[in-house]
Structure 1
Amino acid sequence: MNWINSIVRPKIRDLWKKREVPENLWIKDPETGEMVFHRDLEANLWVVPNSGHHMRMPARKRVETFFDDGNYSDVKTPEVQADPHKFRDSKRYTDRLKEARAKSGEEEAILVAQGKVNGMDMTIAVQNFDFVAGSLGMAAGEAILAGMMKAVEDKTPFIMFAASGGARMQEGILSLMQMPRTTVGVQMLREAGLPYIVVLTNPTTGGVSASYAMLGDVHIAEPGAQIGFAGRRVIEQTVREKLPEDFQTAEYLLDHGMIDMVVPRLELKETIARICGILLKREVELPKLEAPVTEEVEDESIAEDPAEEAESDDKDAKEAEPAS
């Protein structure tokens, strides 16, 4: 009777069990409400295929897809004191950091890496919005500065993918000090004659937009990204006016001259590689264009037989003679 207990009964119980479906199997498009299969979304770099809506992309995945064949090396960043002010609100700051590290799988809000993009050496920094809203703290500031110094040392362009809610309030004035410190790093890149390109993703706000995010040689934004300093509601209450619906979007900033271009995520890699090649005066592989096909049209006057042409001339001459 053991086979009844070990085989039959478990199978009967399985029939009554509710099958669990992963929550992230299907993802809803915020614009159209369309349900998109998560694998299709990942294959399209987290851009909804039908609507073109750019969803937030995981920082580590952005690094992997940006470099050639996904090959890159992480740049070592300095360690800082975890909780200099012993800050506590509803919970301790150290506990928030532990939760963020467990959720994101990363140590801090900035990833710095080096690799090749279309065969060109590059250094990039990516802000992870899933880590305390990508806020700028001491560790993030040190990581950005270390990446810029590494770019100067190796003579590579520096690409900054910004995504942040602003300065990290739990670190107070020490967080705000990272704004001028990263500005010094930008100046180091300029003195070395190296391109500094900023890619503004959704959202880029607060102290980040007031410092290194707006100091690039070229500013590129992803479609629909929210970019600004203060929030929409705060500005409306201050100026006591109703702001346009598309206020603080990438397209609005492009129309008003605040950024240089809006580039879809699928075209970012090629665009950045081309810009860096131009700025560094290196050979750039331009897109190949096929020569236009022209149809050969035969000229009737050339195609005529010489004998027929002579007969036509004689006939015209006789008609022109005056009648006797």
Structure 2
Amino acid sequence: MIPGQNQSWVSEFILLGFSSDPMTNSILFIVFLLIYLNSVLGNGLIIMLVCLDTQLHTPMYFFLCTLALLDMTFATTTMLHMLVHLLAHSQTISFTHCWLQMFVFGGLGITECTFFVVMAYDRYVAICYPLHYTIILTWGLCIRLAAGTWICGFFSSLLHTFFTMSLPYCGPNRVNHYLCEGPIVCSLACMDTHFVEMVDLVLSVFWGVTPISLTVASYIHIAMAILKIKSTQGRCKAFSTCSSHLTVVTFFYAPATYIYLRSNSSYSAEQDKQISLFYSALTPLLNPVVYSLRNKDIKMAFLKVMGYGRCTSGPG
């Protein structure tokens, strides 16, 4: 059955969060506040360094800067509202706010999922076609690739959100989560959700399996190219440029795939809340750490901003 017009009798939802104990919520507020602040500061630092240092004005760092912007927005969308609820001890969220949160959260999630493919393609061109890197990845192409992921992500999220929130919600309004995430909200509908589940599954497979497959295909070609490098030092250097990306891709894809590539009726609310923290809170925190600790160019740019550039680079 295709959902028709919105017949919702529910004006607000109650987000149960992680605990109803005030002391536990106070502790969680401090923990999540630290995670959020470090996520914003870490990703903001990467954006600032890439913008200020002209040596980082390359396609690779343009994509890294875009990923940092995505992570900052993602962390704000998921964690800021949760922090307000923990601090104010209020668990209610209006129907409209829930709709908006689901739309933005889904749009950013799909955008980041597909953007990892763009970053994998960047590494593929850099390692397999190093002499043609700047010719293939022109600034025009980089901007189109980045903009395309945002447009596709939010358009797909609009479809998902429309079908989910068009369902009639006439009774239970207690969401056993810390945010309005599609599968869990859909389970509260007062009608058969089979059609919406099928739409969500199709979208999840397309925007989940396709990016993962393209990313894996890119790294198969990259691995084959690396194995052809004769020197051990050259192979290590080539692999090090990809290891950071592989790490963040694994942290994001693994839990997101588990949550979305399955039937809505088979979810475990308590388990899903914990798993979703990996891609909604921890990934934005870990991304700048992984990239900055393993990237000499980022470290040098940071030293320049801090005023140590001249001392480390020497005269001339």
Same fold (TM over 0.5): no
Scaled by the length of structure 2, the TM-score of the pair is 0.30
Please tell me whether Structure 1 or Structure 2 has the larger radius of gyration of its CA atoms: 1
Scaled by the length of structure 1, the TM-score of the pair is 0.30
Which of 1 and 2 has higher RCO (CA within 8 Å, sep 6+)?
2
